[in-house]
Amino acid sequence: MADRRRMSLGASIRGLGYHTSAWRHPNVLPGASESLSHFTEAARIAAAAKFDMVFFADGLAVRGNDRPAGALSHSHENVELEPTTLLAALAVQTRHIGLVATASTSYNEPYHVARTYASIDHISGGRAGWNAVTSWSEQEALNFSREAHYDRETRYERADEFIEVVRKLWASWEPDAFMHDRKTGRFYDPEKLHAADHRGHFFRVRGPLTSSHTPQGQPVIFQAGDSERGIALAARHAEAVYTIPQTLEDCIRHRKAMDTAAARFGRAPGSVRILPGVQIVTGRTEAEVAEKLMLYDEIADPVIAMARAWSEYGDLSGYDLDAPVPADLQSSDRVSAMRHLGERAKAEGWQLRRLLREYGAGSLRVLAGTPDKIAAEMQEWFGSGACDGFNILPQHLPGGLADVTELVVPILQERGLFRREYEGGTLREHLGLPAAAAVG
Amino acid sequence: MADRRRMSLGASIRGLGYHTSAWRHPNVLPGASESLSHFTEAARIAAAAKFDMVFFADGLAVRGNDRPAGALSHSHENVELEPTTLLAALAVQTRHIGLVATASTSYNEPYHVARTYASIDHISGGRAGWNAVTSWSEQEALNFSREAHYDRETRYERADEFIEVVRKLWASWEPDAFMHDRKTGRFYDPEKLHAADHRGHFFRVRGPLTSSHTPQGQPVIFQAGDSERGIALAARHAEAVYTIPQTLEDCIRHRKAMDTAAARFGRAPGSVRILPGVQIVTGRTEAEVAEKLMLYDEIADPVIAMARAWSEYGDLSGYDLDAPVPADLQSSDRVSAMRHLGERAKAEGWQLRRLLREYGAGSLRVLAGTPDKIAAEMQEWFGSGACDGFNILPQHLPGGLADVTELVVPILQERGLFRREYEGGTLREHLGLPAAAAVG
Ligand SMILES: Cc1cc2nc3c(=O)[nH]c(=O)nc-3n(C[C@H](O)[C@H](O)[C@H](O)COP(=O)(O)O)c2cc1C
Ligand SMILES: Cc1cc2nc3c(=O)[nH]c(=O)nc-3n(C[C@H](O)[C@H](O)[C@H](O)COP(=O)(O)O)c2cc1C
């Protein structure tokens, strides 16, 4: 164990990268989002830099509305590997790095999710994590025999019960339940088996799970969703959250809200690790950074930027791009983090053009600069206690990730902010998390 | 391509083996059913012998009733790896062998199944197969918010629509849909994208799938379920069936019924590959075989045999074990293949003791003898046209599989009945199957 607090780093390596037109980058293979070797390479880059984990977002549909018409065909975010099978394959190709994948609580069954992630924990020797989300897209509903997506309240109620069931299932077998006593013929001790016997509003699940106590006791639970309900969910169940705050102040607010909410479940401040996502663009010199940004601007496709904005605000084509973001723009409010970007744009008096540019660049939070500058900002956030580390969202893969591991990570290591070697073998150990607690 | 018809061989390597007390075998590690290395070893044994595939049965519950009381705690069939994550891990550790896993159409959503198997097909370079079953156990219902299992008719209606949806989803993208045209910004050609737009009785699924055309076009569809409805389902959708006939005559009947049913969908005789499962026990000499059988008898646990029989017939403890199987025994009829075993016992005038012994040995079909005898029987079945190969169910793993690959396979190869080298790279090629057709 380290004697001082270190930051955690995740590499979010879904698809081709977080720039909405990453596929047009000269160093990106446009077909790579279904190629295992692409992800193996990215995971190995992250593992060589001793990252805590690789992280996969997910969606259960080709998402996005085709407005303006034809916009979807410009997007590379349509085909991909299913993330739990991908994690299992990566488990074999890596040794230490944590393996986290997103699964929706709105369009899954808790028995399947409990089973799949337990299996990955066994296969990987204790490196599995589940990012529980409630999904944001209407399109997913249409793939699961529904006419419309659940409203936020229902989604979060279902999510709360869903995670409760998963945790109960993971606790089906005590660690020493299996006696394997050849003489008596007793394979397990029935006293150490606990059916979930869950009868709730959304689910009735008897259990037990077809998985023994996993190497981590239970896979690490992440949560992503920034609304009040999202925070309440995490406060009860999550061990880490993935969030996209626009500013340091937002992140500090998030931390405080989380600690307050967690206290209601008897959890100490800081129990829930906070890992903001950040799209980093870096290079050896200011000039190199500028060059990279210019290239990202060049490949950015205005059709995609418009489509993203359309999903959030409706048709913006009648607006003056050089005027400030109109005060009356109404967010669809599907994802709180997206609404926050628009609020920031208004508060800071951005031109509409800049907001659209952010949508083209990925609509999350872009941090660009030389490695020193990036490291300093990470240190500021981390040092202030706002967060416990970062989820790195490379603009293109694997190049954008390699930039961070080659240029930024060594500075963090020199400053004692990040590990030089793995000190444990499980994701739980990387994150400094205790053994999992029973459902509260 | 071979100029003469060769048989297909699958290795069914679920858990510790098909003997119900395999865990008590001296060469078995009782904890191995959650250990990746155990399955890697078995898969490599099968791959070295050029098997078409490894095959995983599955269940979504700790199945079986705890009667007589405490019986379940004698069974090793309670914890296991989830099979699709296991396949993905094995995909990385093997190069040629096909990878088939079972998924229930009763307790899944077609979008998930389509996505997961497509992903495995991409990860493995075209080696994925899906064994579609309707599930047989009440326990599964209780893990998925139902009070009872669907009746057979409903199960099969749902299965039919389920597989139809999966096949439509797999056809979402034409093989050349992705243009990746950096200049125009067109990632794909919208004309080559086809949403499933399925609106049926059980499912409404819009699609498209988040997976491009897979290396095999679509993963190979297997079906297992021997009733008339099961055969009708396979006739429409399956490319291979896994079945447990008790006798050669049964198998020939199955083949004829399948060909007749398939003709209704315009499919030529033999379109659906028939692969009977068989539990092989072999050794270098008759004495060695006898010794192995004796060991299996020794480890067999009467509690388990009784529990299996109880699930099928209720409490048999009042019956005389040395009397013939009573004519009035009523099968639960959950699984047609199990009912057939009882029918055979009655027809052949077995003592009840022998029927119980079969339950203890795995309740499927055990073929014991020297390699010559085994090979001769396999040749007879294959040569008669009753079947296209076999799914080998080893009594214990990996030893029971190695016996078959070391002793029996060389004889089949010498006789030109089985390949010496892989001739293709995909499961579809191993099975000699054509490219997948559109949903009929
Ligand atoms: C950082 C972050 C990552 C997310 N990742 C996913 C994802 O991978 N898949 C998904 O369906 N939803 C994802 N979500 C969205 C959640 O599904 C959630 O439903 C949505 O944010 C609306 O809830 P909220 O207002 O609480 O954020 C993510 C949200 C955040 C903030
Ligand atoms: C050879 C064979 C293998 C089977 N494998 C499975 C399995 O792995 N999981 C499962 O739930 N059911 C399995 N089944 C059972 C099917 O789920 C089916 O529901 C059951 O056999 C009842 O239908 P039937 O009467 O048509 O056979 C299998 C059946 C057969 C004949």
Using one digit for the tens of pLDDT, what is the confidence trace for B201-229?
999 999 999 999 999 999 999 999 999 99
Using one digit for the tens of pLDDT, what is the confidence trace for A79-138?
999 999 999 999 999 999 999 999 999 999 999 999 999 999 999 999 999 999 999 999
Going by pLDDT thresholds of 50, 70 and 90, the confidence category of residue B317 is confident
Residue B3 has pLDDT above 50, yes or no: no
Assess whether the C-beta atom of B250 lies below 6 angstroms from ligand 2.
Answer: no
- Out of B31, B84, B108, closest to residue A85 by CB: B84
Q: Specify the 3-state DSSP secondary structure of A400.
A: helix
Kindly state whether B58 is in contact with chain A, defined as any CB-CB distance less than 8 angstroms: no
Residue A440 has pLDDT above 70, yes or no: no
Q: Which helix (H) or strand (E) holds A199?
A: strand A198-199
Assess whether the C-beta atom of A244 lies below 6 angstroms from ligand 1.
Answer: yes
pLDDT given for residue B311 in this prediction = 87
Question: B145: CA distance to ligand 2 center in Å?
Answer: 21
Kindly state whether A131 is in contact with chain B, defined as any CB-CB distance less than 8 angstroms: no
Q: Specify the 3-state DSSP secondary structure of A85.
A: helix
CB pairs under 8 A between A and B: 208
Going by pLDDT thresholds of 50, 70 and 90, the confidence category of residue A318 is confident
Residue A184 has pLDDT above 60, yes or no: yes
Using one digit for the tens of pLDDT, what is the confidence trace for B161-213?
999 999 999 999 999 999 999 889 999 999 999 999 999 999 999 999 999 99
Distance from the Cα of A61 to chain B's closest Cα (Å) equals 6
Assess whether the C-beta atom of A59 lies below 6 angstroms from ligand 1.
Answer: yes
Interface of B with A in 338-367 (CB under 8 A): none
**CB B92 to CB A93 under 8 A?**
yes
Number of neighbours of residue A410 by Cβ within 10 angstroms? 15
Per the structure block, which two tokens stand in for B362?
A: 């795995």
3-state SS of chain B is: CCCCCCCEEEEECCCCCCCCCHHHCCCCCCCHHHCHHHHHHHHHHHHHCCCCEEEECCCCCCCCCCCCCCHHHHCCCCCCCCHHHHHHHHHHHCCCCEEEEEEECCCCCHHHHHHHHHHHHHHHCCCEEEEEECCCCHHHHHHCCCCCCCCHHHHHHHHHHHHHHHHHHHCCECCCCEEEECCCCEEECHHHECCCCEECCCCEECCCCCCCCECCECCEEEECCCCHHHHHHHHHHCCEEEECCCCHHHHHHHHHHHHHHHHCCCCCCCCCEEEEEEEEEECCCHHHHHHHHHHHHHHCCHHHHHHHHHHHHCCCCCCCCCCECCCCCCCCCCCHHHHHHHHHHHHCCCEHHHHHHHHHHCCCCEEEECHHHHHHHHHHHHHCCCCCEEEECCCCCCHHHHHHHHHHHHHHHHCCCCCCCCCCCCHHHHCCCCCCCCCC
Measured CA to CA, the distance from residue B80 to residue A118 in angstroms comes to: 10
Interface test with B, best of A16, A78, A105, A173 (most B CBs within 10 A): A78
pLDDT given for residue A332 in this prediction = 87
Q: What are phi and psi of B187, to 5 degrees?
A: -80, -40
Ligand nearest to the CA of B277: 2
Number of neighbours of residue A298 by Cβ within 10 angstroms? 10
Q: Which helix (H) or strand (E) holds A225?
A: none
Interface of B with A in 202-231 (CB under 8 A): 202-208, 210-212
- Closest Cα in chain B to A211: B79
Residue B49 has pLDDT above 70, yes or no: yes
What size, in residues, is chain B?
A: 440
Q: Which atom of ligand 2 is nearest to the CA of B14?
A: 8
Using one digit for the tens of pLDDT, what is the confidence trace for B92-129?
999 999 999 999 999 999 999 999 999 999 999 999 99
Asked if A351 contacts A371 with a C-beta cutoff of 8 angstroms, the reply is no
Task: Say what the ipTM of the complex is.
Answer: 0.96
Give the mutation target among B134, B143, B275, B334 for probing the ligand 2 site: most ligand atoms within 8 A of CB: B134
Beta-bridge mates of residue A104: A133
Residue whose pair of structure tokens reads 């994802």 in the numeric block = A335
Distance from the Cα of B70 to chain A's closest Cα (Å) equals 8
pTM: 0.97
Beta-bridge mates of residue A282: A369
Going by pLDDT thresholds of 50, 70 and 90, the confidence category of residue A325 is very high
pLDDT given for residue A358 in this prediction = 85
Asked if A142 contacts B204 with a C-beta cutoff of 8 angstroms, the reply is yes
**CB A204 to CB B178 under 8 A?**
no
